[in-house]
Structure 1
Amino acid sequence: MMVVDVHAHDAAHPELDSWYESLRSGKGQCCSDADRFALSDVDWETRDGHYRVRIAGEWWDVPDEAVITGPNRAGHAMAWPVYYWKLKRLIRVEIRCFMPGSMM
């Protein structure tokens, strides 16, 4: 099994870099272990009071402790996934942090 970690911010909005660096969930600092993944409105939802996100064509549950409840300065929903691979095949996605968007 292999875990891939990448660091990334919004290159179009460098003024948000320090905000991204400050984001934390109950699972820890968001940008320390996973790449930010912007989600379109059709790629996240709530079901039975919990969030789910669609990444790599599959739906993944967001752990409650991964949800960031502070203001979303970027506006769109974001997830910080950690990918688990085995023999070049994606076997699991763990959501380290998730920030809901406005769903407008």
Structure 2
Amino acid sequence: MLTMNLPSSNGHVAMHPELNPWFAKLRSKSGPCCDGSDALHLRDVEWTTQNKKESHYRVMVPKTADLYRSASNGQDMKKGDTEWVDVPDDALVTEPNLDHSTLVWVWYSSGFQMTDQPHIRCFMPGALT
């Protein structure tokens, strides 16, 4: 069974409230990442590098918004509940990672419409410390 380290509803706040200002200002070229409460904390096996023209990373995330909500509520992800998604280079956050874990912010929308396809808003490898 696959498990993911999804944050609780209060995300990083309970563990490291001193990081709140840092999380609040995180941005990629795509725009603000929001705060850390909606970031997924990935294990090393849940992300990888690749050598594509517009994407140098891939991440494993829940396939749908409903699965993301279930995982956020502590339910284990089963095989088939997640998928590999390319991270657009514009989503890469390049400043020092004060959290020291790999973080990804996922949207399940396109414009103003909700979809069941994950889109990567921001990505920060844990190795960028």
Contact preservation (8 Å) 1:9, 1:20: no
Q: Is 2:60 the counterpart of 1:54?
A: yes
Tell me the matched-pair count: 91
Q: Is 2:17 the counterpart of 1:18?
A: no
Contact preservation (8 Å) 1:8, 1:31: no
Query: Going by fraction, where is helix more abundant, 1 or 2?
Result: 2
What is the alpha-carbon root mean square deviation over aligned residues?
Answer: 2.2
Contact preservation (8 Å) 1:9, 1:17: no
Structure 1 unaligned spans of 5+: 1-6, 85-89
Aligned residue for 1:48, secondary structure, equals: strand
Structure 2 unaligned spans of 5+: 1-8, 63-81, 110-114
- Percent same amino acid among aligned pairs? 45
Structure 2 length as normaliser, TM-score? Answer: 0.64
Structure 1 length as normaliser, TM-score? Answer: 0.78
Aligned residue for 2:21, secondary structure, equals: helix
Q: Is 2:123 the counterpart of 1:98?
A: yes
Q: Runs of 4+ in structure 1 displaced over 6 angstroms? A: none
